[in-house]
Homo-oligomer: A and B are copies of this chain.
Amino acid sequence: MAQHGPAPTEPATAGAPEVSLTIPVAPEMEIVATAQADALGEYMDMPRDKIDEVKLALVEACINAFEHAHTEDNQVHITFRVGGSTGDWLEIEVRDRGRGFDAEGVESPSPQKTFEERRRRGWGLHIIKSLMDEVEIASGDWGTRILMRKYK
């Protein structure tokens, strides 16, 4: 590896083609954002079904920011990174400058709670974790940042 290599804090992503997208908090803008995941997934030859999984995970991260973050700037910031020597993975970072939440404290959902206790919501984060290969959530009074990666 050359000396101009990765910075210590972002080991795997330095040098990866990076695309940033900012969308407004507005109905259906999450779908507009998925167009970017689609285009980058095709660019890196990710199989269609995996692209669909990435798109749904992105949708869930966006609608969480829309619904729960109460951002001041009314925006959601998304960064896409294609990494690995032959475009092996797609990483998506979704950030809001909202009020944050206690990610550890979120109760896990289950079909039983959903059907028997009629608590039908609360699946977003679980779906993101199920569909992506790696997920990291950081949240605080500065907002929320979800980092998720899918290998092709």
- A67-122 with Cβ < 8 A to chain B: none
Residues B39 and A19 in contact, CB atoms below 8 Å apart: no
**Inter-subunit contact B43/A39 (CB<8 Å):** no
Query: Does A130 make an interface contact (CB < 8 A)?
Result: no
| Interface footprint category on A | 20 to 34
Knowing A20-B22, A23-B19 touch, does A35 contact B29 (C-beta < 8 A)? Answer: no
Q: Considering the chains assembled together, what is the distance between the CA atoms of A123 and B2 in angstroms?
A: 39
Residues of B within 8 A of A38 (CB): 35
- CB within 8 Å of B: which of A13-47? 17-24, 26, 28-29, 31-32, 34-36, 38-40, 43
Task: Given A32-B36, A39-B35, verify A26-B21 contact (CB < 8 Å).
Answer: no
Give the distance in Å from the alpha carbon of A38 to the alpha carbon of B19 in the complex: 17
| CB contact between A35 and one of B17, B20, B28, B36 (< 8 Å): that residue | B36
8 intermolecular pairs with C-beta atoms under 8 Å apart = A17-B24, A18-B24, A19-B23, A19-B32, A31-B43, A34-B39, A35-B35, A35-B38
